[in-house]
Amino acid sequence: MIKTNIIKSTGTNIPSLTLGCSGIGNLYHRLSNTEAINVVEEAIKMGWRSFDVAPHYGSSLAELRLGLALRNLKRNDFILSTKVGRLLMPRTEDGLQNGNEFYDENPFNRVYDYSYDGIMRSYEDSIRRLGTRRIDILYVHDIGKYAHGATPEERKYFKTLCESGFKALEELKKNGQIKAYGIGANETEIMLEAMDYANLDIVLLAQRYNLLEPRKEEFFAKCAKYNVSVAAAAVFASGALVKKSITEGHYEYGKITPQVFKRIQEISKICDNHGVPIGAAALQFPLRNKNVVSVVCGVTSTSQVKKNYEWAQWDIPDELWQDLAAIDIY
pLDDT in tens, 60-80: 999 999 999 999 999 999 999
Q: How far is CA 41 from CA 45, 145, 304, 324, in A?
A: 6, 36, 13, 36
Tens-place pLDDT, residues 3-24 = 999 999 999 999 999 999 999 9
Structural domain of 173: 4-239+278-326
* 179 inside domain: yes
CATH for 121? 3.20.20.100
- Looking at the structure of the chain, the number of domains it has is 1
* 184 inside domain: yes
> Is the separation of the CB atoms in 40 and 19 below 8 Å?
yes
d(CA 271, CA 212): 14
Q: What is the per-residue pLDDT for 328?
A: 72
* 291 inside domain: yes
Closest residue by Cα to residue 59 from 111, 107, 19, 92:
107
* 310 inside domain: yes
Q: What is the per-residue pLDDT for 96?
A: 95
Q: Does the annotation count 57 as an active-site position? A: yes
Is the pLDDT at 244 greater than 70? The verdict is no
What would you report as the CA-atom Rg of the chain, rounded to the nearest whole angstrom?
19
Q: How far is CA 249 from CA 145, 224, 243, 253, 309, in A?
A: 25, 34, 6, 9, 21
Closest residue by Cα to residue 57 from 95, 13, 110, 94:
110
Per-residue pLDDT, averaged over 240-267, amounts to 79
Per-residue pLDDT, averaged over 299-323, amounts to 96
Q: What is the per-residue pLDDT for 246?
A: 58
* 245 inside domain: no
Lowest mean pLDDT among 199-203, 205-209, 238-242: 238-242
Mean pLDDT of the chain: 95
Q: What is the per-residue pLDDT for 252?
A: 74
* 270 inside domain: no
Burial of 75 (0-12, 13-18, 19+ CB in 10 A): exposed
Of the residues 28, 57, 112, 309, only one is catalytic, namely 57
* 256 inside domain: no
Banded model confidence at residue 247, pLDDT cuts 50, 70, 90: low
d(CA 190, CA 205): 11
* 249 inside domain: no
